[in-house]
Amino acid sequence: MTEFARLLKYLRPYRIVFAISVVLMIVTGLLEGGTILLLQPIFDTLSGSQSNGGVFAGLPFSRYLPKADGVDLRTIAVLLVGLTLAKGVAEYFSSYFMSRIGQSVIADVRSSLYDHIIHQAARFFSKHPTNELTAHLMSDAALVERAVSDTLRDLLRESVSLVVYLALLFKFNWRLAAALLLLGPPVAYLTTNFNRRLRHYINSRQQSGAEMLDVAQEAISSQRVVKAFGMEDYESLRFRDAARKQMRDQLRAMRIYFLSPIVLETVGIVAVAALLVYAHRNITAGQMSLGGFAAFLVAMFKAYDPIRRLSRLQHDMQQGVASSARIFKVMDEQMEMRDKPGAMKLERFSRQIEFEDVSFKYGAGFDLPVLENVSFKVRAGEMVAIVGQSGAGKSTLTNLIPRFYDAVEGAVLIDGHDVRDIQIASLRKQIAVVTQETHLFNDTVRANIAYGAYGSNDSDEAIRRAARAALADDFISKLPSGYNTVVGERGLILSGGQRQRIAIARAILKNAPILILDEATSALDTESEMMVQQALNNLMIGRTTIVIAHRLSTVRRADRIVVMDAGRVAEMGTHQELLERDGIYRRLYELQFAEEETVDDRWLAASGAFSTEY
């Protein structure tokens, strides 16, 4: 199915309004034709010519229209005004209805695209940059909207007008009209050729535009790194190159856009010149009246106007079709995690999580194994710490539990059930995640804490209890509007520690039995770090916790420690047991944790000063 045909499917819910709009366009074209019909009696009367019964002869409504003989100019004046007013009303409503359809269709396309994107698996977002996806939602969708509302409307209107004008031309003089049709094949060939080349250049231009946006977004979002390394000139050069590439693609498209109507106009004018010579002979021989020829000329020039506009509209339509192709290409990618037929609903977690010979690799060009034959169990209520060097597979391991990814081999079991056999919604309802990078939305503090608990546990009192447990209530109360303060993009108005405590309050409010935690305290000052650690301790109470540990205090408190090395479980045991083995953990401890031990002993003593409630 072509992109345009797929796009038209979105018109189905609005087919009644669309049909009304098309009827009104036809009425507009007929009324425009009626004004042209009035020209022959006017010219024939003023020139003293006769027209063999008038131009309206043979039409079913001819008795209601003025004759060329003895025409009443006042009647014609009234008809001109009436037809013009009626045409204006019909054109207004047809244009409004088409614009309404266009806005509705593009809202549906955007919603469908966003719904498709938001339900995709994590690997989908690894493949598509954020700017590419937002460009589809905004820029491409806007061009599709223009194609559906403005361009499609103009195409229909100009096509109806062209048919009406051609009918008039045959009515006035069928020989001259038939001669005009000889222009059809060369015009069709030129138009098809222009369309093909134009679409190629438009696709290239949109791709280069997306690349330019990527360059700009990367540099702006990483402006601290850019400045720290003095790379402003380099980034300016990258953007300038991308902008010039986009400019070249734009100019190629515009050359076709401007050239096509000029070529078609030249062909038309050559035909008009030949027709003038032929018409002069007909008038001289008495085969055609002056009024008939004048009306024929007006209809011919009127017919040329839709042809010229249609040649220009091809640019906008090709642009819209190219944009819709980009949108549909994304919508055709199916990386969504879907429930198996007959997937079970998981009741509240109660027994254990088990990794059973789990192996994983990302694929899509990254074929090296990330996890190999990983096996261990986490019993309900346990706290298990995952430690290892960077790249050992710690984050990938935890991502398999909520099915951000699926294991390539082996299985992840919850209460004895393979997570792939569980309904995704019921699975993720059991899990709260606090990531190393805190994500807050540009919304109120209240909305950020209640995120994920709307409609179930989002009362003001529940939100405040969660905030107190996360040691966040004090600083939230001091904000300008308290819990109704908008935190800005990614929590811009808050400090790093404050953002993390709001994220912890969000996880507390969800009250899920399984907690996946990636500690993130290294970038905080000492006081903030102590507050966040106490908040994390409150969060872990009564929950089964799998934590990617970066602090010695967390490692020492864990019931068991799983040591990852090159995607495998290298060691497993308690802190003391692993130290005594003198293996990888002992070396890791000496490299990363030994210097923290003295500080952590003092911190553990001080942490009792914090009182919590939830």
What is the spatial distance between Cα 269 and Cα 301, in angstroms, rounded to a whole number? 10
pLDDT the model gives residue 55:
45
Contact criterion met (CB below 8 Å) for 539 and 507: yes
Distances 355 to 226, 351, 560, 562 between C-alpha atoms, Å: 42, 14, 15, 12
Top-confidence residue, 605 or 418: 418
Q: Is 450 part of a structural domain of the chain?
A: yes
Stretch 244-259: mean pLDDT, rounded? Answer: 81
> In 3-state terms, the chain is what percent helix, strand and coil (to 5)?
65, 10, 25
What is the spatial distance between Cα 279 and Cα 293, in angstroms, rounded to a whole number? 7
Stretch 105-112: mean pLDDT, rounded? Answer: 85
Q: Is 325 part of a structural domain of the chain?
A: yes
Contact criterion met (CB below 8 Å) for 562 and 572: yes
What is the spatial distance between Cα 423 and Cα 402, in angstroms, rounded to a whole number? 11
What is the spatial distance between Cα 99 and Cα 101, in angstroms, rounded to a whole number? 5
pLDDT of 272 higher than 60: yes
**Phi, psi angles (nearest 5°) of residue 541:** -60, 125
Contact criterion met (CB below 8 Å) for 560 and 571: no
Contact criterion met (CB below 8 Å) for 379 and 351: yes
Rg value, the chain, Cα: 36
Residue among 430, 511, 426 at smallest CA distance from 463? 511
Q: Is 168 part of a structural domain of the chain?
A: yes
pLDDT the model gives residue 603:
44
What is the spatial distance between Cα 50 and Cα 20, in angstroms, rounded to a whole number? 40
Give 490-554 as a DSSP string: GGTTS-HHHHHHHHHHHHHHHT-SEEEEE---TTS-HHHHHHHHHHHHHHHTTSEEEEE--SHHH
CATH of the domain at 443: 3.40.50.300
Stretch 181-202: mean pLDDT, rounded? Answer: 73
Give 60-98 as a DSSP string: TTGGGS--STT--HHHHHHHHHHHHHHHHHHHHHHHHHH
What is the spatial distance between Cα 258 and Cα 196, in angstroms, rounded to a whole number? 15
pLDDT the model gives residue 184:
67
Helix (H, G, I), strand (E, B) or coil at 259: helix
Q: Is 571 part of a structural domain of the chain?
A: no
Helix (H, G, I), strand (E, B) or coil at 354: strand
Please give the share of the chain, as a percent, with pLDDT higher than 70: 82
What is the spatial distance between Cα 200 and Cα 512, in angstroms, rounded to a whole number? 52
| pLDDT confidence bin for 57, thresholds 50/70/90 | very low
Residue among 520, 540, 553, 538 at smallest CA distance from 473? 538
Token digits for 358? 């789990």
Angle at 320 between CA 140 and CA 211, to 5 degrees: 40
Helix (H, G, I), strand (E, B) or coil at 302: helix
Residue among 60, 64, 65 at smallest CA distance from 36? 65
Burial class (CB in 10 A: 0-12, 13-18, 19+), 161: buried
Q: Is 34 part of a structural domain of the chain?
A: yes
Q: Is 12 part of a structural domain of the chain?
A: yes
Token digits for 240? 């300038």
Identify the domain boundary among 296, 331, 366: 331
Distances 141 to 110, 254, 503 between C-alpha atoms, Å: 7, 21, 34
- Mention every residue, 6+ apart, whose C-beta is less than 8 A from residue 462: 453, 509
Top-confidence residue, 592 or 153: 153
Q: Is 404 part of a structural domain of the chain?
A: no
Residue among 269, 287, 257 at smallest CA distance from 50? 287
What is the spatial distance between Cα 148 and Cα 146, in angstroms, rounded to a whole number? 6
Angle at 348 between CA 346 and CA 349, to 5 degrees: 90
pLDDT digit string, tens, across residues 466-509: 888 888 888 888 888 888 888 877 777 888 778 888 888 888 88
- Specify whether 197 is located in the same domain as 316: yes
Residues spanned by the domain of 18: 3-207+255-331
Cβ burial 445-478 (10 Å sphere, 16+ → b, else e)? bbbbbbbbbeeeebeeebbbbbbbbbbbbebbee
430: left (phi over 0), alpha (psi -120 to 50) or beta: alpha
Instruction: Report which residue type is found at 51.
Output: S
- Specify whether 190 is located in the same domain as 314: yes
- Beta strands 371-379 and 352-360: pairing type? antiparallel
pLDDT of 90 higher than 60: yes
pLDDT of 89 higher than 90: yes
User: pTM for the full model?
Assistant: 0.63
Number of domains in the chain: 2
DSSP lists the bridge partners of residue 572 as 562
* Lowest-pLDDT range of 42-46, 560-564, 581-585: 42-46
pLDDT digit string, tens, across residues 143-160: 787 777 777 777 788 888
- Specify whether 444 is located in the same domain as 296: no
Residue among 464, 457, 467, 533 at smallest CA distance from 497? 533
pLDDT the model gives residue 413:
92
CATH of the domain at 74: 1.20.1560.10
pLDDT the model gives residue 340:
81
- Specify whether 55 is located in the same domain as 195: yes
What is the spatial distance between Cα 455 and Cα 269, in angstroms, rounded to a whole number? 69
pLDDT of 83 higher than 80: yes
Burial class (CB in 10 A: 0-12, 13-18, 19+), 383: buried
pLDDT the model gives residue 455:
61
Identify the domain boundary among 454, 479, 511: 511
Stretch 600-607: mean pLDDT, rounded? Answer: 48
pLDDT the model gives residue 425:
84
Stretch 62-84: mean pLDDT, rounded? Answer: 66
- Specify whether 144 is located in the same domain as 14: yes
* Lowest-pLDDT range of 109-113, 286-290, 379-383, 519-523: 519-523
Q: Is 422 part of a structural domain of the chain?
A: no
CB atoms within 10 A of CB 293: 22
Contact criterion met (CB below 8 Å) for 344 and 162: no
Length of the chain: 614
- Specify whether 325 is located in the same domain as 201: yes
Stretch 343-360: mean pLDDT, rounded? Answer: 89
- Mention every residue, 6+ apart, whose C-beta is less than 8 A from residue 141: 106, 109, 110, 113, 323, 327
- Mention every residue, 6+ apart, whose C-beta is less than 8 A from residue 483: 444, 445, 446, 449, 460, 463, 464, 467, 476
Match 């069709």 to its residue by tokens.
Answer: 188
Identify the domain boundary among 511, 544, 574: 511
What is the spatial distance between Cα 196 and Cα 189, in angstroms, rounded to a whole number? 11
Top-confidence residue, 1 or 508: 508
pLDDT the model gives residue 412:
92
